[in-house]
């Protein structure tokens, strides 16, 4: 009879496989973010978006995508700090709802003849909010899964090292 059970085999497999689940979730969050910014940047609201804050948003999007991709590679290789980075990025994605979408949804449209409309319609607001929330949820899930798997692997590796020292 083998001294290893199914749980031990599952933990041992972590040593030889990548954390593709967390990595894939982060890549999906980048795609959701891309849908968000395409919707925002393709809007034509009479110059409302052509201000400094949109430049800051574009720079943030670039930094976000780079950081998320780096986190994707990090969690794939069981690096705990990248799992925490994914969670932080997820929280920041949720907070972004209050920056452009909510402000644009409340702002009157500067286009002549559109005085009774807001810069961002209800439909677009719901769409971009959903994109950001999906991105945030995927990042947070990826981070939590990454923390669980990395912690399990680290504990198992420490157990193997202890058994090896004891002989």
For 75-121, how does the pLDDT look when each residue is reduced to its tens digit (9 = 90+)? Answer: 999 999 999 999 999 999 999 999 889 988 888 776 656 666 788 88
The residue behind tokens 């809007």 is 43
Determine the pLDDT at residue 75: 97
Is residue 10 one of the residues assigned to a domain? no
Is residue 132 one of the residues assigned to a domain? yes
| Domain count within the chain | 1
CA distance 88 to 75: 14
Is residue 8 one of the residues assigned to a domain? no
Is residue 83 one of the residues assigned to a domain? yes
Q: Is the pTM of this model over 0.85?
A: yes
Determine the pLDDT at residue 14: 86
Determine the pLDDT at residue 114: 60
Is residue 120 one of the residues assigned to a domain? yes
Determine the pLDDT at residue 72: 98
CA distance 111 to 10: 60
Q: pLDDT under 50 in the chain at which residues? A: 1
Is residue 5 one of the residues assigned to a domain? no
Is residue 73 one of the residues assigned to a domain? yes
The residue range of the domain holding 152 is: 20-160
Name 45's Cβ contacts closer than 8 Å, sequence gap at least 6: 104, 109, 110, 111, 119, 120
Is residue 55 one of the residues assigned to a domain? yes
């Amino acid at each position: 009879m083998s001294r290893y059970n199914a749980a031990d085999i599952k933990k041992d497999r972590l040593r030889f496989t990548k954390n593709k689940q967390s990595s894939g979730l982060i890549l999906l969050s980048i795609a959701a973010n891309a849908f968000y910014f395409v919707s925002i940047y393709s809007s034509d609201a009479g110059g409302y978006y052509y201000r400094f804050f949109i430049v800051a948003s574009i720079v943030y999007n670039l930094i976000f995508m780079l950081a998320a991709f780096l986190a994707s590679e990090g969690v794939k290789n069981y690096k705990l700090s990248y799992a925490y980075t994914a969670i932080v990025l997820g929280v920041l994605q949720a907070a972004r709802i209050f920056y452009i979408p909510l402000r644009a949804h409340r702002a009157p449209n500067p286009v002549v003849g559109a005085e009774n409309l807001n810069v961002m319609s209800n439909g677009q607001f719901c769409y971009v909010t959903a994109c950001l929330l999906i991105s945030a949820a995927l990042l947070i899930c990826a981070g939590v899964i990454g923390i669980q798997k990395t912690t399990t692997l680290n504990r198992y590796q420490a157990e193997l090292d202890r058994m090896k020292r004891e002989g």
